[in-house]
Amino acid sequence: MRDVARDPAALELLRVQRSRLADRMRPPWWYLPGAAIVWALIFAAPFASRYLPQGDYWAIAVAALAVACLLQWGLDRATGLKVGPRPLRVLRDGLFYYRPGRPALIAILVVSLATTLTEGSLIRRGLLADAIVVAALAVAAEVALQQARLREIRRELRDGGGAA
């Protein structure tokens, strides 16, 4: 290992090292199935609020939150990188502070909101089968977006994020 950066060569070395770091950001086998379970629980909420007692609705919400936290913790541990949502940073830097993979994250939020509203509307009109189909499609879309988000994060890590 050289002791002192031989100037322009150091930048090239840094690009190679960033690429190596980005390659670690690959989800373990259980991550995407786990994400599918979380989204299934989230999109089960409109059904639960209509057909289940209030206590069961909250039990589903808590279960979804717990599995989501567990997944994020597991991903951080498996990859050795923390790039997920940081709720406390929202307090410090405001709601719109930049996170790697933000475009995909915005798409995830838009799809989840649109799905919940559509499901609610279909359930109110008694179109239960249609609501189930919408929920199933939304779970698949959210998992695909989650993959896209990880790809975006990898690309940003490779490009060096904010620095250089």
Nearest-approach distance from CB 2 to another protein, in angstroms: 5
CB-nearer residue toward another protein: 25 or 44: 25
CB-based burial label for 77 (10 Å; 0-12, 13-18, 19+) = exposed
- Rounded least distance, CB 31 to another protein, Å: 17
Q: Which is nearer to another protein, 79 or 146 (CB)?
A: 79
Taking the complex as a whole, the smallest distance from the CB of residue 69 to another protein amounts, in Å, to 15
Nearer to another protein, 92 or 126 (CB): 92
The count of C-alpha atoms lying within 13 angstroms of the C-alpha of 116, restricted to the half-sphere facing its C-beta, is: 13
Half-sphere exposure of 77 (CA within 13 A, CB side): 7
- Shortest distance, CB of residue 107 to another protein, whole angstroms? 19
Phi then psi for residue 52, to 5 deg, are -110, 160
b (16+ CB within 10 A) / e for 84-115: beeeeeeeeeeeeeeebbeebbebbeebbeeb
Nearer CB in complex with another protein: 33/85: 85
What is the CB neighbour count within 10 angstroms for residue 54?
9
Neighbours of 26 (CB within 10 A): 12
Closer CB to another protein, 119 or 156, in the complex? 156
Kindly state the smallest distance separating residue 21's Cβ from another protein, in Å. Answer: 4
- State in Å, rounded, how far the first CA of the chain is from the last one: 23
- Site residues, another protein (CB under 8 A): 1-5, 7-8, 10-11, 13-14, 17-18, 20-22, 24, 77, 79-83, 86, 89, 100, 153, 156-157, 160-164
